[in-house]
Amino acid sequence: MPKKRSRYTQRIVMTLLCLFFVMSKFCHAQVHDVLCSDGDGNFEAEFHTGVKLHVGAARNRGLATRTCEATFTWNQQTLVVMTGVSQLDVDAFGVDLNLGVPVAAFQVKRTDRECCTEYQIYSLEKPPRLLLSIAGGSFFSAADTDLDGRIEIWTDDAAATVGFENLAMSELDFAPPIVLRFADGKLLDVSSEFQPSFDRKIAEVRKQLDSADLRDFKSSDGKLSPLAQLSVDRLHHLRGVKVKVLEIVCSYLYSGREQQAWPTLVDMWPPADTDRIRAAILSARARGLGSRVNGVSTVRPGSSRKHATIFDSVSESGGSKREVVPPAPMLLRYPPPVEISDQHLADSEVLLDLVIDAAGKVRSAELAGKARSGNADLINAALGWKFIPAFKAGRAVASRLRLAVSLKR
């Protein structure tokens, strides 16, 4: 719950201006989906505890540099929590991650050369302090995925893929996903609770494979060393098949289904190399992000829970006093202008009805009013928008928000 709405209002206006003018020129930070990249982009917010956050270009003797920093201020005190980093993003602000205090969660990439991102979680009580740092994913995103009142942290095991089987990160469609959640002060791997999400990835990859591809790969040695006596085209083809098999197997493994992972490996991998690659997968996983958790969820997939209350952040109750403080935009990336037809541009603006969870992530987006169809690119973009969530009695809550978006140049 912000202390001073005027500060938030200024931030909202600047963010929406970037959204409206993006038809002709992108805001640099939004292109990269982070609030500050190479010193470009800034963000300010104040929590009701009186702790203020500023993210922007790091400064050297008063001059802005091409790096980013984050600073907390309170009671005329200042704490620079990180500086001189390549990319800096606020994933969540004022959110309850079940750590006993509201937090600000940062995604930090120190240099462009690094494969992985660090997730730093700071309390928003005075004085702010670092509660936990998690490293090893290529991204982190807190969200109440199924709107049950519990916030997960979605990431991937990028650290485990570095150097694995001499495969470059660019060759992978995705690193093995991991879903984390705090419970009783412990960081748990709850990926097994979201097996349908993993199954969708598995299905997508399987569609890209056919029996001829698999037969071709199974006739190889599995290692596919760059020094192998293969033509460039054949090596490239086989490495593509190898990546997809690994993605399928690891998706089963990371979602808690070893009983499906290993038979799938036997079915799709060159027989003489199966034992070696299985050991290699387990070794990579042991040094990856999963080794940093305190336990694994024992909840059965699909277990029903009570849904979180979704508050109306626009309607008023008790006179002119709102029931909740509305969400405030943090990062709104708009689709490129080449993806928007002239018919869409004919409308001056459209209304979007959003459901925003208690972590500030958009769980659903649909057109309101007369425009009930079209603008698919806008809807898809809105599902990736990020907000400071709504607050009720100082606590982050899920909410509904109607947002007017201009489509004119």
Per-residue pLDDT of the chain (409 residues; tens, 9 = 90+): 444 333 333 333 333 333 333 322 223 233 347 899 999 999 999 999 999 999 999 998 888 899 999 999 999 999 999 999 999 999 999 999 999 999 999 999 999 888 899 999 999 999 999 999 999 999 999 999 999 999 999 999 999 999 899 888 889 999 999 999 999 889 999 999 999 999 999 999 999 999 999 999 999 999 987 766 778 888 899 999 999 999 999 999 999 999 999 999 999 999 999 999 999 999 999 999 988 899 999 887 766 667 889 999 765 444 556 678 999 999 888 776 534 455 545 556 788 999 999 999 999 999 887 655 667 888 889 999 999 999 999 999 999 999 888 765 4
- At residue 321, the pLDDT reads 61
Query: Are 127 and 163 contained in the same domain?
Result: no
Does 27 map to a domain?
A: no
- At residue 37, the pLDDT reads 93
Query: Are 107 and 211 contained in the same domain?
Result: no
Does 20 map to a domain?
A: no
Domain boundary pick from 111, 143, 175: 143
Our count of domains for the chain comes to: 3
DSSP classification of residue 65: E
Cβ-contact 142, 155 below 8 angstroms:
no
Tokens (6 digits) for 104: 């600000």
Element (H, E) at 182: strand 177-183
Does 17 map to a domain?
A: no
Query: Are 175 and 116 contained in the same domain?
Result: no
- At residue 20, the pLDDT reads 32
Query: Are 271 and 216 contained in the same domain?
Result: yes
pTM assigned to the model: 0.86
Query: Are 164 and 51 contained in the same domain?
Result: no
Does 268 map to a domain?
A: yes
Query: Are 323 and 397 contained in the same domain?
Result: yes
Domain boundary pick from 304, 328, 355: 304
Looking at residue 366, its amino acid is: E
* Domain span holding position 74: 32-143
Q: Output the CA–CA distances (angstroms, integers) from residue 187 to 135, 153, 291, in the order listed.
A: 13, 10, 11
Residue 24's contacts (CB-CB under 8 Å, 6 or more residues apart) are 337, 409
- At residue 348, the pLDDT reads 66
- At residue 408, the pLDDT reads 59
Query: Are 164 and 285 contained in the same domain?
Result: yes
Does 150 map to a domain?
A: no
Is residue 116 packed enough to be buried (19+ CB in 10 Å), middle (13-18) or exposed (0-12)? buried
Query: Are 298 and 354 contained in the same domain?
Result: no
Q: CA-based angle 366:371:372, to the nearest 5? A: 50
Query: Are 216 and 252 contained in the same domain?
Result: yes
Does 182 map to a domain?
A: yes
Query: Are 135 and 105 contained in the same domain?
Result: yes
Instruction: Look up the CATH number of the domain holding residue 349.
Output: 3.30.2420
Does 238 map to a domain?
A: yes
* Count of other CB atoms within 10 angstroms of residue 203: 11
CA atoms within 13 A on the CB side of 254: 34
Query: What's the CA dihedral at 237, 241, 242, 246 to 10 degrees?
Result: 150
Query: Are 242 and 280 contained in the same domain?
Result: yes
